[in-house]
Structure 1
Amino acid sequence: MTREIRLNAFDMNCVGHQSPGLWRHPRDKSWTYKDLDYWVHLAKTLERGKFDGLFIADVLGVYDVLHGNVDAALRHSAQVPVNDPLQLIPTMAYETEHLGFGLTASLSFEHPYTFARRISTLDHLTKGRVGWNIVTSYLNSGALNIGQPAQTKHDDRYDLAEEYLEVCYKLWEGSWEDGAVVRDRETGIFTHPEKVHPIRHSGKHFNVPGIHLSEPSPQRTPVLYQAGASSRGKDFAGAHAECIFVASPSKAVLKRYVANVREAAERVGRNPREILAFNLQTVILGETDAEAQRKFNEYRKYASFEGALTLISGWTGIDFGQFGPDEVLRHRHTNAVQSAVETFTTIDPTKEWTVREMADWVGIGGFGPVFVGSPQTVADLMQEWIEDTDVDGFNLAYAVTPESFEDAVDLLVPELQKRGVYKTEYAKGTLREKLGGAGPRLVAPHPGAAYRNLFDAPARVAANG
């Protein structure tokens, strides 16, 4: 059965992102991340290639686990310096018509009342092309720098996340009725006060008594992405996510993850097929397999061993600087990304990975697999993974930017289109509609839809000054 392959670009407002050291490559432009020209060029390139979206990662904190300090992260630009992703999106949206934007924002470090307004503003400015990658954050340095004594324990972060979403749903979906804003010049009424309601939320973590500050945006709730790979994370994704993002290095791991999330969705009454699954992937392309392999070998010369260990140590919470390069990886439980430590042992259960081999794997593209070959070879591999794992598409990381993305648009996309497995035109409407939604807004049985029309009409809002 022919299935449409969906593609996002995976980037971050920093240098190198998933390929530490590759910023030194003479054709890499990731060091221009501070310039809007870089981002506008990227957005236009992706829209030319009919990508579904640009998925922008983020971290609040630094990778300071390796050797117990931030030196290696700074030395190799391992996701530091890193700038705010949100401020990039309005300019890119203005310069494009269809491309979606997946914003990573941690609910651990910002109050839902102010965050809800920022997202509504962004949804207005993009005309409904924004999604939110819901993360709970895993770097202890981020928690310390906003005044928390330590990072909250893994499952406790998901308890907070459930209430955080409840507050956001109430603000986005329930506070303002459809038809509240009339902009009636004759009567002088802009908004009917009786159609705007305080949410009166009082919970364990948050108290939000008032109204949402923004009028309803095109989607109200942004498209919801989630990337949790733990058992609790998969249950959370099954309940709330419209798109899931995973970094599985093997088909067996990916197939199990996708099945687990779809089962979690089914348990809460959702249609599991409405959740789109994207796997982290890096593609190195050439006109021929030999050309692609030559390019890959060239890239590997610039990969940073210490930079890769910096990222792995931050992702797992284990200081890999305490081990020799040829020591074998052992499973250790941490309060960071629990699944990350297990990743390497699940690639090949019979293999014992050394620290050096682990760094070589991560050095280009992070935890996700790397496909190297001609457009025909890479398209074959993508279709094979779609068929064997039930994944819907891929978040493409770069090795060298914008070269990796330009190669995907100019070489891979035409091959996929020729095979009839990739769109030739965008669907109309908001990001939710472009991704296959029936309309611009959440629909039942998604839990967010239950907060629409939640509040009684008599709960009239009184003006304050």
Structure 2
Amino acid sequence: MTTAKKQLLFNGFMMNVVGHVSAGLWRHPDDRASEYTTLDYWLHIARLLDEAGFDAMFIADALGQIDVYQGKPDAALRTAAQSPVNDPLLLVSAMAAATRQLGFGITVSTTYEHPYLLARKFTTLDHLTKGRVAWNIVTSVLESAARNLGLEKQMDHDERYERAQEFLEVTYKLWEGSWEDDAVRRDREAGVYTDPAKVHPIRHQGRWFTVPDAHLSEPSPQRTPVLFQAGTSDRGRLFAAQNAEVVFLGGTTPQSIAQNIDKIRTLAHEQGRGAEAIRFITAISVVVDEDDARAHAKFQDYLNYTSQEAALALFSAWTGVDWSGWSLDEPLKYIETNASRSALAGLTRIDAERQWTVGDISNYIGIGGIHPTLVGSPQSVADQLEAFADASGVDGFNLAYAISPGSFEDFVRWVVPELQARGRMRRADGTSLTLRERLQGRGQQRLRDDHPGTRFRQLTDGYPQEVQ
């Protein structure tokens, strides 16, 4: 008896920028990412992904200049390395109106937002999308963000996660407990829209936040958006185990990703969460064409447009290390910083199969960032995706582009039919589901019962002291 293969999740990996993770490729004559300031550009990609059966568009973000490299933003500005950058949230309602099934994962930082305001933003989007939104929770890594948003310097790495945990507790109280399910009556005859007795102040007073009153918005289809999270430091893994429904893992090999999955699953079990409570995805780039020869020729063509300067500017920002003073043949080594610890650890500690140099990483980042790039025919790419998923244990992929929208168009033309024929990717069928239902099954619109956020559902007149 043949066991059915697991259907994989696929998200388009975007950022509201010219150059996302492929350094310098905006210069390619077929790249249209410089149109990122137009709605037509975003609507085309959203419709393309929606009609092809993608599960979501995952939108990254950054709140500061890319200025660690050489101690200034010049290199990033010159090479369009995530500079300039526009807001991700403001794109979503337009794309939702142009699509039927596509979800939207939006990156927002807990360090520089306030939970009372953010809760309203996501509730609004959840209403407008009919339950198709996710929040990619980050704590931010850039010193430039800190100094422009009211801090003298970046908060310590673990302290950012402590703040994030309280931030989540406030939003859980607002989303899950503040309004009872039947608070909204819409009773025209009685003249009652909302029953005040069923809307409760949350009375939160903690180290970081004081939020005494009720949520501003009436409950949306999911109440709490689907929760994505991307940190894989020790503290980041614990935060994921406590809160995430989908974890976005970095890693250059299936083995390194599998190690992180095992660690997070163990931590989640300790938090009382079930084995299927968390889905895992990783990022990958694909260069595909009709056959292997054409695909490799395309890959070589793309390499001609990569920028070493842009790559090192990005890697410096991600790791908090200024690599401009290092020779290109110098081996990478782990340096404890206050930035993203997993980016550098993933190459220097986990991936024992390779000794990276500064030059290696600057070349590698050229296409797809620090994530793997698959090159080949539709059949070859599908084989590689299946092998990677099976070896790592991931549930799906964030598809990063080399050129935009060309990389997505190629994937939809060549790879999607192959994956769907193998039962590895869903077909767009017009079914109206929330994003959480698409990830966890029909009927699961709200947080699973084993999610820690559900303990904030029972509220009558503020929370008891023990959960504040």
TM value normalised by structure 2:
0.96
Residue 463 of structure 1: aligned partner: none
Contact 1:227 1:245 (8 Å CA) reproduced = yes
Answering whether residue 291 of structure 2 is matched by residue 295 of structure 1, we say no
Aligned partners of 2:144, 2:25: CA distance in 1, in Å? 25
**Is residue 73 of structure 2 the alignment partner of residue 63 of structure 1?**
no
| Contact 2:231–2:342 under 8 Å retained in 1 | no
Aligned residue in 1 for 2:453: 448
How far is 1:453 from its partner?
Answer: 2.5
Offset at residue 454 of structure 1 (A)? 2.2
Q: 1:439 and 2:444 equivalent?
A: yes
CA shift for structure 1 position 382 = 1.0
Contact 1:199 1:455 in 2 (8 A): no
Determine which of 119, 122, 131 is the counterpart of 1:119. 122
Alignment match, 2:367: 364
State TM-score, norm by structure 1.
0.96
The correspondence for 1:19, drawn from 14, 18, 22, is 22
- 1:323 alignment partner in structure 2: 326
Structural mapping, 1:28-427, within 5 Å: 28-346=31-349, 348-349=351-352, 351-426=354-429, 427=431
Contact 1:100 1:131 survives alignment (8 Å): yes
State the SS of the aligned residue for 1:45: helix
Residue by residue over 1:52-80, the C-alpha shift from the partner in whole angstroms, topping out at 9 and shown as x without a partner, is 00000001011111111110010111111
In the TM superposition, residue 348 of structure 1 has moved relative to its aligned partner by 4.8
- 1:322-361 CA distances to partner (integer Å, 9 max, x unpaired)? 1122222222111111122222235752543221111011
- Give SS of 1:225's match: strand
Q: 2: distance between equivalents of 1:200 and 1:240?
A: 21
Deviates more, 1:419-428 or 1:373-382: 419-428
Measured in 2, the distance between the counterparts of 1:137 and 1:458 equals: 30
The aligned amino acid for 2:90 is: Q
Residues 91-100 or 325-334, more deviating: 325-334
Ranges in structure 2 where 5+ consecutive residues have no aligned partner = none
Instruction: Determine the C-alpha separation between the residues in 2 that align with 1:252 and 1:281.
Output: 15
2:157/2:338 contact within 8 Å kept: yes
Answer yes or no: is the 8 Å Cα contact 2:173–2:456 preserved in 1: yes
The alignment of Structure 1 onto Structure 2 pairs a total of residues equal to: 459
Aligned partners of 1:195 and 1:457 also within 8 Å: no
Partner amino acid, structure 1, of 2:337: T
Q: Distance in 1 between matches of 2:457 and 2:433?
A: 21
Offset, 1:458: 12
Change in Cα spacing, 1:73 to 1:182, as seen in structure 2 (3 Å) is same
In the alignment, residue 437 of structure 2 is paired with which amino acid?
Answer: E
Secondary structure of the residue aligned to 2:440 is coil
User: How big is the alpha-carbon RMSD for the aligned residues of Structure 1 and Structure 2?
Assistant: 1.5
The one-character-per-residue Cα deviations of 1:108-167 (angstroms, maximum 9, x if unpaired) are 001111111111111111111000000000101101001101111111011101100000
Q: What secondary structure sits across from 1:270 in the alignment?
A: coil
Deviation at 1:274, TM superposition (A): 2.7
* 1:180 shift after superposition: 0.7
